[in-house]
Structure 1
Amino acid sequence: MRVERIERSKHKQERVLVYLEGGDLLRITESELLRFGLYVGLDISPETVVQLQKSGARSETRVRAANMISARPLSKKELTRRLVQKGSEADDAGAAAEYLENIGALDDAAYAAMLVRHYSAQGCGPARIRDELYRRGVPRELWDEALETAPDAQETLACVIASKTRGKPLNEKDYKRLSDALLRRGFSWGEVKTALRTAGAALTDADDGL
């Protein structure tokens, strides 16, 4: 097959379009253009066309992967899953994620620590954070180390309770509503009970001082 025309895509900066005689079109990247030495008038075999198609798909997947993690942090598993959802072959998606991990652009341990900081700042407890780590595809062996960076549960609970009560004493209904809300945030019943008891004592002491 003879190469009739080569031009850059108007829609994707990284893509190069190679038009072959007979109307066939190859979508590749600059990497394939240089590696295969393509130029207008070159005759290429059907086997080379297949190689170009496969190599072009791998290169485009790698570019897409880099664009995804530059837009927002992702775990390796999340990135691979999203690439497949966008139409990449599973092997190409896995290879792209592996490449980015090898060059340090993708780091599950750093991502796990970031998630712990984020959800801790949102007032979430260990159970809720574990759910998020699982949902986002962070390997389990990284959870414990990441969770060690979380603030003390009682400190977090004290901040959440203070923001909810605003210094007002809790009646039985308020106590039940607040405890249920804190349990949904991922704290254990023991942690919640201790925090509410401490907060209640502080509020009572403040009232006694009036």
Structure 2
Amino acid sequence: MVFLEDGACLKITEQELLDFGLRTGDMLDGGTLERLKSAAGISNVKVTAADLVGKRAMSRHELEKKLTEKGASQAEARYAAEWLEAIGAIDDRDYAALLVRHCGQMGWGPARAREKLREKGVPRELWDEALEELPEAAGEIDVFLAGKLRGRTPDQREKKRLTDALLRRGFAWGDVKAAWHRQGQELSEA
């Protein structure tokens, strides 16, 4: 902490202390004080960024957005995200794979997983590789239907309800229709 003559307090890290060669009782000219404030601001944003990433995984885009919401400038947020990328604390490729695995564990299909990737700001060029982490759609749909039907033959109303649920989960119409066919059921397209 640096206490200024006007009573203000400036929170700095050891790095600024060393970079600026500060000692008790030092007098700082206006230019040095402004550079110190700028360096301290960047350090504080980096600390906040590290805290955010330490709490849960997130994409670079998500991190920058959260930092700007907390008052950092876009340049400071970008710099902090670059720093965390450089030290390996954030990696959009790893985050995309983690997010898609989570979607698979939730029983969601490819469309829902793509929506999550878009929502979290994962770059589009990483989507295809990440989506390979999803379990086979046919197997997931069969497990869902078996769990809901428990050997019963559904009526048209229940088939529609289950079909709609699968579509909301992000499975393609063709995959859902094929699953009903595997169950020995025909599905009307209306």
TM-score by length of 1: 0.85
- In structure 1, distance between residues paired with 2:6 and 2:110: 61
Matches within 5 A, 1:50-199: 50-199=34-183
Greater CA drift, 125-134 or 165-174: 165-174
- In structure 1, distance between residues paired with 2:143 and 2:132: 19
**CA deviation string 1:143-175 (max 9, x = no partner):** 001111211110111111122222221111110
User: In the alignment, residue 158 of structure 1 is paired with which amino acid?
Assistant: D
Unaligned runs of 5+ in 1: 1-16, 202-210
**Helix, strand or coil: the match of 1:191?**
helix
Runs of 4+ displaced beyond 3 Å: none
**Helix, strand or coil: the match of 1:54?**
helix
The residue number in structure 1 matching 2:188 is: none
RMSD, aligned CA:
1.1
Task: Tell whether the 8 Å contact from 1:170 to 1:200 is kept in structure 2 after alignment.
Answer: no
- Percent identical: 48
1:55 Cα deviation from its structure 2 partner: 0.4
Q: Number of residues paired by the alignment?
A: 185
1:176 Cα deviation from its structure 2 partner: 0.5
**CA deviation string 1:20-75 (max 9, x = no partner):** 22323322222112221212111111111100111001011111111111110000
Between the two structures, name the one with larger relative contact order (CA 8 Å, sep ≥ 6).
Answer: 2
- In structure 2, distance between residues paired with 1:166 and 1:49: 72
Larger CA Rg, structure 1 vs 2:
1
User: In the alignment, residue 58 of structure 2 is paired with which amino acid?
Assistant: L
User: In the alignment, residue 73 of structure 2 is paired with which amino acid?
Assistant: E
**CA deviation string 1:66-124 (max 9, x = no partner):** 11111100000000000110111110110010111112111101110111111011111
Task: Tell whether the 8 Å contact from 1:26 to 1:52 is kept in structure 2 after alignment.
Answer: no
**Helix, strand or coil: the match of 2:11?**
strand
**Helix, strand or coil: the match of 1:59?**
helix
Match status 1:34 vs 2:44: no
User: In the alignment, residue 123 of structure 2 is paired with which amino acid?
Assistant: P
- In structure 2, distance between residues paired with 1:47 and 1:24: 17
The residue number in structure 1 matching 2:9 is: 25
Q: Which has the higher strand share?
A: 1
- In structure 1, distance between residues paired with 2:147 and 2:17: 60
- In structure 1, distance between residues paired with 2:90 and 2:21: 31
**Helix, strand or coil: the match of 1:28?**
coil
Unaligned runs of 5+ in 2: 186-190
- In structure 1, distance between residues paired with 2:117 and 2:31: 44
TM-score by length of 2: 0.93
